Structure 1
């Protein structure tokens, strides 16, 4: 590959090189942009290292534009950033790092380019391209990053024990890059993950979950979870998922391995959506099976109520993993709680009221719920899979019919609590809530239609029965 030609059309790289020459500094593009250049992946982040002051170089580059460009300087870290419409530039001086045993925050000193490359996490991220005019486009690849890209492997440039012990977050990054790129982790590097897995405990939950979410958003996240499981990294922060693994048997009765089933469901969901929270619902849908597992001599293994218990476990797990405790958590919780409901609607004898209740409870998330249910079909028997998916087709037809007729998705009772208080001259009280709830139940049961006139008539009948009078 002719690197000079590959970067020649990117004007801002030439600009940085010219500014570096004016300051008498060696300057290089490093890291992800260089890696992605060889992988032909798009990248808008340009990381520059210079032998000298990165802040000085960034300031010079910012001043070289005719118009104002935003420059952010972080003196404590010796870095600076320039944001352009099409590019984000980061500048740092070459440095070497040393670490304390109880922290991933390095002690930083000025260093050479080689020392800067040695401190980087993986060989494929340790390559540099010179941008000075005299050596423009020269590749500096001291650790064989190009060869590792060709071999599709993730490998540390230095001893993996040092690399991972210094900054344990790099272990999560190893799995993330392997998953995103479809690479293997080189054997000695993977052994380093296993030896240092417990060091992950010094990393904040926010940093861990950021890497985990990138794994979940990859094309095939099951690969990343298998690497996390085998390396024992997953054990450090997600014990509930570890508990899913394994098969218990009594006589000739056994259950499926719910860990690998969950990974298959996750991959299946990924074929339908790139939504992070629907993918999290796939991860969480069977999370309570270990806690609800029981054996009965006649029926074998059961997991009764795992959907309800899983929904109750969701907030605690989200809080501990530093996932958002907002509507996104409630969305996942809802799908976990409802994920068994649609299959119960397959029976031809199921009433419209059962469908109305599902529509009412799922609301706008009913389509996502059906995606999760379809993904949950993981039998190795293709005939069985085909039959189950055909059943879900029937359920969706029923849902569509009832929705077109009754319009109950996300419905609010046609008579509000405020109107009930006004009509009967009532203060906020238990009886107001009871009237509103009975109107809702009458609509869901099909006793009355979902309109205000019938709701009011029904309400007046209820009020008369309860001895409640309209105000004069």
Structure 2
């Protein structure tokens, strides 16, 4: 009735019996919207170091539950998680004196996670990690303004280590560092931008839309000025949808390697190069994606000279 989380009996004794209960207390607060009894909170702070004796699998399980239901609760857990996730506490201490931000790295991160709807575990971890690189690269100019050059690259490398530390899935270990690396990219409404992500980076539509969602959540957790980039994301999404039927993979070409061998003298690595060039041509000229048109291009003298 009172919506308060407390221990049965002495909190210190309960947490010494099983240190995971400290995480569960926060998880109950997150899922139920309850507050925590002050004696429990003080006991957790006192016994926080015990969390190092809990397996990382059990810790991450509780962390996932909190991330899904109310990630804002993590702001009260920096001391408790310090033995296994010290980066959260460092993010709390990392201020952002910039016209694009209104708060420190940790609170910006948690605000960004709250915009993630519908919830997706992989994207939630990407958002949790996305700005941790700022801690290492922060500089302050003579005017007192903070700068975070190359934070995405540094954060991507850090996220690889965090994925291993938290024993995330192989799929998450593959994509989370990629999303972190590109979370601050600029999306422009032109074909070159679509080509870069769908063809050069080999992203299928699902993973491109995932990246756009992360970019949007990140932008919305900025100051009013910083939120303008969220509009760019929405505009790019609409532009992409209008152009999504272009040829974006070799499998969508109207010809294949066998056709090239039969119709030209190209061999070996030249075949793959020819397919790549046909893909690029077909992407920008979708009406030309026919076997006849592409073979005519391949037989062009300047085209053959380039491949040879």
| TM-score using structure 2 length | 0.81
Write the distance in 2 (CA, Å) between the matches of 1:251 and 1:280: 25
CA distance in 1, matches of 2:155, 2:260: 37
Q: Does the 8 Å contact 1:413/1:436 carry over to 2? A: no
Partners of 2:235 and 2:187 lie apart in 1 by 11
1:266 aligns with 2:113: yes
Root-mean-square deviation (CA, aligned residues, Å) is: 3.4
Structure 1 gaps, min length 5 = 1-149
Higher mean displacement: 454-463 or 365-374: 454-463
Q: 2:184 aligns with which of 340, 347, 352?
A: 340
What residue in structure 2 maps to residue 319 of structure 1?
164
Query: How many Å separate the matches in 2 of 1:245 and 1:420?
Result: 58
Q: Structure 2 vs 1, CA of residues 273 and 158 (structure 1 numbering), >3 Å: closer, same or farther?
A: same
1:400 corresponds in structure 2 to 241
Report the counterpart of residue 121 of structure 2 in structure 1: 276
**Does 2:4 correspond to 1:153?**
yes
Shift of 1:443: 4.9
Distance 1:304 1:421 in 2: 48
SS at match of 1:192: helix
Whether the 8 Å contact between 2:129 and 2:159 is mirrored in structure 1 is yes
| Alpha-carbon spacing, 1:417–1:233, altered in 2? closer, same or farther (3 Å) | farther
Instruction: Output one character per residue of 1:351-378: Cα deviation in whole Å (capped at 9) or x when no partner.
Output: 3212332344442223332322222222
Aligned 8 A contact 1:254 1:301 in 2: no
Partner of residue 222 from structure 1, selected from 72, 82, 88: 72
Q: Measured at CA, do residues 250 and 353 of structure 1 come closer, stay the same or move farther in structure 2, by a change above 3 Å?
A: closer
Q: Which residue number in structure 1 is paired with residue 210 of structure 2?
A: 368
- Cα distance in 2 for residues equivalent to 1:417 and 1:253: 50
1:190 alignment partner, one of 16, 25, 41? 41
CA distance in 2, matches of 1:306, 1:450: 42
CA positional deviation for 1:397: 2.0
Q: Which has the bigger relative contact order, CA under 8 A and spacing at least 6?
A: 2
* Aligned pair partner of 1:451 in 289, 292, 295: 289
SS in 1 for 2:243: helix
CA distance in 1, matches of 2:103, 2:217: 16
Structure with bigger strand share is 1
Aligned match of 1:357:
196
Counterparts in 2 of 1:336 and 1:467: CA distance versus 1, 3 Å: closer
Name the structure with the higher helix share. 2
Matched, 1:237 2:237: no
Task: Give how far 1:248 is off.
Answer: 5.0
Residue aligned with 2:163, SS? helix
Gaps of 5+ in 2: none
* Separation in structure 1 between the aligned mates of residue 271 and residue 46 of structure 2, nearest angstrom: 62
